């Protein structure tokens, strides 16, 4: 076997061995991140820092202190030397792991907890590739740029038991990603959102739900079992409850949407029956947008 092929074979074997050591959800998250078409280079931007980013033509009115006289002396144009923005964003993650998140309507869809973890870890992987820093909102995982922190983030997020995110004293340039089933605790979540954004921290929320929660398709007598200690109840005619259930759900979602809008936060919804990539791409795009706003002084 040629030396180069042998080296590739050994590297592949090591990669496969490492993959077997990773938690399944971390592997799934990495695969999800790989399916997207953008990469780390998309987050490199011009700004104050030390690393060279690019040369561009000097514009009238700009400070002459920014001119690179050595580069300008080599040609006919006057050049500005731009450096890359190196103050990495700190993205704090929280995932709801209350009992209601462990539900799935069928084996054809993941549990809400599994999908929430996949979204969080895949987004964290993309951010780490872009040299951003990820952390857990509960403080158990401090901000880190190390790809190895994905496993730590996974383990830390699994320990969360509260149905609403914790309050935290975060540094400047921090963002929060909160993923869970917020409709069951809409009032408490709105209160957390008001208090958190009052300090100027941008928040992106993803409300994860199972398709049957959105449609309530039950027609025959059904035994309903509460996942948050509500007990069980046999309903002879669940169809008669459908309108009231859906109305209550819509009211809770509208409350979250309105509160998020007033707090300049982002509230997204995600069905476990849909692929994670579309929501992941939207989150990544929104973080890029908010990053630009932070650099422009809007946050």
Please indicate, yes or no, whether residues 54 and 152 belong to a single structural domain of this protein: no
Please indicate, yes or no, whether residues 253 and 124 belong to a single structural domain of this protein: yes
Please indicate, yes or no, whether residues 248 and 137 belong to a single structural domain of this protein: yes
Please indicate, yes or no, whether residues 120 and 266 belong to a single structural domain of this protein: yes
How many domains does the structure of the chain reveal? 2
DSSP 99-135: GGGG--SSTTS--HHHHHHHHHHHHHHHHHHTT-EEE
Please indicate, yes or no, whether residues 275 and 155 belong to a single structural domain of this protein: yes
Is there a domain that residue 180 lies in?
yes
Domain termination residue (choose one: 56, 83, 110): 83
Domain termination residue (choose one: 66, 83, 100): 83
The tokens for 139 are: 């403080």
The answer, yes or no, to whether residue 1 has pLDDT greater than 50, is no
Q: Identify the pLDDT of residue 51.
A: 56
Domain termination residue (choose one: 83, 112, 138): 83
pLDDT in tens, 25-71: 777 777 777 766 454 434 455 555 555 556 777 766 566 777 888 88
Q: What is the pTM of this model?
A: 0.73
Please indicate, yes or no, whether residues 208 and 242 belong to a single structural domain of this protein: yes
The tokens for 116 are: 């929430």
Please indicate, yes or no, whether residues 124 and 182 belong to a single structural domain of this protein: yes
Closest CA to 212 of 126, 131, 293, 106: 106
Q: Which of 80-89, 114-123, 152-161 has the highest mean pLDDT?
A: 114-123
Number of residues that make up the chain:
299
pLDDT in tens, 245-296: 899 999 999 999 999 999 999 999 999 999 999 999 899 889 876 554 443 3
pLDDT in tens, 223-254: 777 666 677 877 778 788 888 889 999 999 99
Question: Cα 188 to chain center, whole Å?
Answer: 21
Is there a domain that residue 31 lies in?
no
d(CA 179, CA 205): 6
The tokens for 51 are: 């690393």
d(CA 299, CA 291): 9
The answer, yes or no, to whether residue 10 has pLDDT greater than 80, is no
- 183 is in which domain, residue-wise? 90-295
Please indicate, yes or no, whether residues 122 and 242 belong to a single structural domain of this protein: yes
Please indicate, yes or no, whether residues 206 and 287 belong to a single structural domain of this protein: yes
Is there a domain that residue 255 lies in?
yes
In this structure, are residues 26 and 121 in contact, taking their beta carbons and an 8 Å threshold? Answer: yes
CATH number (domain holding residue 136): 3.40.50
Please indicate, yes or no, whether residues 73 and 103 belong to a single structural domain of this protein: no
Q: Which of 9-13, 102-106, 113-117, 150-154 has the highest mean pLDDT?
A: 113-117
Is there a domain that residue 204 lies in?
yes
Is there a domain that residue 128 lies in?
yes
Please indicate, yes or no, whether residues 135 and 71 belong to a single structural domain of this protein: no
Is there a domain that residue 68 lies in?
yes
Please indicate, yes or no, whether residues 78 and 96 belong to a single structural domain of this protein: no
Is there a domain that residue 20 lies in?
no
Q: Identify the pLDDT of residue 88.
A: 65
Is there a domain that residue 4 lies in?
no
pLDDT in tens, 87-139: 568 999 999 988 889 888 899 999 999 999 999 999 998 888 887 889 999 99
């Amino acid at each position: 076997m040629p030396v180069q092929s042998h080296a590739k074979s050994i590297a592949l074997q090591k990669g496969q061995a490492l993959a077997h050591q990773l938690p399944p959800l971390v592997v799934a998250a990495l695969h999800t991140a790989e399916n997207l078409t953008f990469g780390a280079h998309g987050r490199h931007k011009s700004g104050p820092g030390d690393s060279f980013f690019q040369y561009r033509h000097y514009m009238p009115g700009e400070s002459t202190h920014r001119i690179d006289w050595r580069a300008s002396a080599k040609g006919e144009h006057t050049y500005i030397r731009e450096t890359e923005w190196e103050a990495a964003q700190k993205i704090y993650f929280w995932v709801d792991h209350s009992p209601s998140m462990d539900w799935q309507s069928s084996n054809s869809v993941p549990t809400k907890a599994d999908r929430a973890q996949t979204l969080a870890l895949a987004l964290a992987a993309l951010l780490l590739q872009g040299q951003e820093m990820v952390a857990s909102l509960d403080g158990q995982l401090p901000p880190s740029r190390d790809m190895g922190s994905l496993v730590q983030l996974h383990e830390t997020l699994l320990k969360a038991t509260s149905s609403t995110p914790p309050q935290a004293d975060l540094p400047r340039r921090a963002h929060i990603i909160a993923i869970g089933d917020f409709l069951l605790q809409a009032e408490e979540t709105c209160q957390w959102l008001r208090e958190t954004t009052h300090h100027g921290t941008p928040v992106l929320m993803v409300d994860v739900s199972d398709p049957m929660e959105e449609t309530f398709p039950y027609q025959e007598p059904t035994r309903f079992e509460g996942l948050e200690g509500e007990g069980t109840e046999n309903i002879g005619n669940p169809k008669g409850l459908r309108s009231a259930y859906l109305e209550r759900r819509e009211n809770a979602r509208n409350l979250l949407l309105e509160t998020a809008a007033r707090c300049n936060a982002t509230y997204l919804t995600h069905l476990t029956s849909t692929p994670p990539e579309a929501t992941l791409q939207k989150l990544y795009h929104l973080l890029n947008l908010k990053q630009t706003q932070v650099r422009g002084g809007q946050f």
